[in-house]
Structure 1
Amino acid sequence: MGTLEGLRESDRPPLMMGEQVPNEESWSVISVPTSNSLILGVDFPAAGRREAGFGDLVAKMGPAWSGHGFVQTTLPSVRVSERPAGDFYTEHWMRGGDWDKYEVVAVLGYCLGGVYAAEIAERLAQRQGTEPKVVLFDGQVTDIQLLAAEINKMVALAGPVFSDEEAEQARKRAAEIVGTPSISLVDAAIEIVELYRETASTAFKRIGLSDSRRDEVVQLFETYMSWLSAAVDIDPSQTWKRSLAITSSDYATLEANGAATAVNATKMLGRRISLDTSHADLLRDDSTVRTLLDHVEF
C-alpha cells in the first residue's frame, strides 16, 4: 500500500465520474462523493434490523454533509472457526482501491463498530498525514457475555415457537458455554454458533421455513459472531480518548446494570454526550443531528 503522508486535499486530483468508493468490494455507497472528501461508517448492516443505520443518519443530516461522500463497511463472509483476527477486517476494508484520491475526514462507529473505527482511523492518519475525526455511537467492546445474549435474543424473538422448557434449555446451555472456565472468546463463539444452528433448525422446521433459509440466517449469525470475537484483538483506547462519544438512554441502562460491554468501554471514552433516545433510534434521532451539528466540524 502506498503512503499519503503530507498529501493535502488541495493536492489531490479531482475525482472522475463513476469513482465512488476506494474499494467497492469492501464499502457500499450511502452518499455519492461530489468531492474528494469522504466519511466512513463502520457498522454491521443487516437487512431488516430494527436499529437505525448510517443511511438514516445521512438522510437526517441532509445538506450539512452534502459536500462529503459517505460509504459504509461491507462484511466479508467468514466462518468463526477460521478464527479471524481483528486486523482481518481492517485489511478487508483498507486493502486495494485508490485511497490517494480521497481525504477521509471522519470515521463513525456504531456500537462495536467503534472498535474497528478506531483502528481504521489510526491507519488512515498514517497514510494521509491527518487524523480523521472519530465519532462513536454507543461504543461498546466485546465481552463473552455478548455471545449468550444473542441466543437469549433469538429465543425471545421466537416466542411461542419454543416451549418454556426448550427456551430455558437454550438459555442455560448458552450460559454454560460462556461460563466454561478458561474458555476463550473465540472457542465460546464457535460453540454458540452450533447452539444457534440447532435451535434455529428446530424453530424453522416448526414454522415451515426451508433449510436453505435456515442456512442463510445461520450464516449471517456466524458472520456476526466472527465480527464480535475478532474485535477482542483491538485496543481502541488511545483513539477513543480523542473521540466524541454519543450515547443513548439504553447505554446508560447497560452501565447501571454493570454490563461489561458498556462499563469497560466507558473507561476509555473521552468527550461524551448522553442523549435521551434509545439505542435503536440513535442514528435517526433529531437530538443526534443537533449534537453532530454543534460539536463536529470537518
Structure 2
Amino acid sequence: MPNENAWSVITAPTSNSLILGVDFPAAGRREAGFEDLAKKMGPAWSGHGFLQTTPPPVRLADRPAGDFYTEHWLRDGAWEKYEVVAVMGYCVGGVYAAEIADRLAERQGTAPKVILFDAQVTDLQLLESEIHKMIGLAGPVFSADEAEHARKRAAEIVGTPSIGLLDAAVEIVGLYREMASIAFQRIGLADARRDEVVLLFESYMTWLSAASQIDPSQGFGRSLAITSSDYADLEKSGAATVVDASKALGRRISLEIGHVDLLRDDSTVRALLDHAEF
C-alpha cells in the first residue's frame, strides 16, 4: 500500500487499481466527503481501492512550499504495485489533485483522470471568508458588536497593502483564536478543547496557503469538473477563487444541488456513471 501515514483507506483495494480523493476532512463538517461519495457509488467502484489524503502535521510557521503536500502524499509506499486511474479533488483540494495527477502521469506512464468537485483556488478573500463562516456557525454566541469587530478585523488583515497569503493566514488564525476564546469561555468549554479547534483551523489555513503556490492549470484543463448551484452563484458574483478556477476547467457538468450535498447527491452519481468511466 502507499504510505499509510499519508492516506486513509475509504475502500481497501481488491486489485492494483486505485482512486485517490484529495480533501481536507474534518470531523463534524456539514459538507459531504469522499466517504459519502464512495457509499453512493456502491458496486460501480468495487473494483478499485479508494484512498483519501491525510493532511501532514505542518504549521504556518513552517511556511511549507507549494509542493510540500504533494511530496508528502506521494513519497514512500509501494506505488509501483498500483495504477491510479483517477484523482479527485474537492474545493481547493482540486489544486493538489491536479498536481498529483501530473506527477503520477510521469511516474506510471498513464495519466489518471482528473475529476474536480467545485474546484477553487486560494486568495486573500477566501481566508477572510473563513471568519465569516465561523461567525455564522457560532450564531448567538457572539454579540452583534463582537461579530462586527471580527468581520472588520478580517477585512483589515486581507486589505493590508502587499500582505502575502501566509502572513495574512497567520493574522487570520490569531483572530480566529481571539474569537474562539470568547466563544469557548462563554459556553463553558475547556481551553484545551479550544486549542485543539484552533490548531485544526491553523492546519486548514496552512493547506489553503500552500495551495496558492501551485499552478493547477494543466490538470484543470483535462479535468471533468462537477459543480453545484452554489458554485454557479459564486461565479456570477465574481468571487475570484471560483472565477479563476472555472476559466481553467475542462469539461464541466453543472448540477442543481447545493455545495454541501455535492458528494452525496444522486445526480452526482449519475454524472459520474455517465461521464467518468475508468
Q: Same fold (TM over 0.5)?
A: yes
Match of 1:24 in 2: 4
Match of 1:276 in 2: 256
Q: Which amino acid aligns with 2:70?
A: T
| Deviation readout 1:19-78 (Å, 9 max, x if unpaired) | xx3110000000010000000000000001000000010111011100000000000121
Match of 1:242 in 2: 222
Secondary structure at the aligned position of 1:63 is classed as: helix
Unaligned runs of 5+ in 1: 1-20
Match of 2:91 in 1: 111
Aligned equivalent of 2:31, options 31, 34, 51: 51
Q: Which amino acid aligns with 2:133?
A: K
Q: Which amino acid aligns with 1:227?
A: W
The reply on whether 1:67 has 2:47 as its aligned counterpart is: yes
Aligned equivalent of 2:141, options 161, 164, 188: 161
| Deviation readout 1:80-133 (Å, 9 max, x if unpaired) | 121111211001100111101100000000111000000000110111000000
Secondary structure at the aligned position of 1:71 is classed as: strand
Q: Distance in 2 between matches of 1:288 and 1:163?
A: 39
Q: Distance in 2 between matches of 1:257 and 1:51?
A: 22
The number of aligned residues is 278
Q: Distance in 2 between matches of 1:137 and 1:147?
A: 20
TM-score of the aligned structures, taking structure 1 as reference length: 0.92
Alignment of structure 1 residues 123-162 onto 2, 5 Å? 123-162=103-142
Q: Distance in 2 between matches of 1:79 and 1:199?
A: 20
Q: Which amino acid aligns with 1:166?
A: E
Percent identity, aligned pairs only, is 77
Alignment of structure 1 residues 72-87 onto 2, 5 Å? 72-87=52-67
After TM superposition, where is structure 1 displaced by more than 2 Å over at least 4 residues in a row?
none
Secondary structure at the aligned position of 1:280 is classed as: helix
- Residue 182 of structure 1: how far off its partner (Å): 0.6
Q: Which amino acid aligns with 1:156?
A: G
Aligned equivalent of 1:97, options 77, 98, 119: 77
TM-score of the aligned structures, taking structure 2 as reference length: 0.99
Secondary structure at the aligned position of 1:180 is classed as: coil
Q: Which amino acid aligns with 1:108?
A: M
The reply on whether 1:37 has 2:17 as its aligned counterpart is: yes
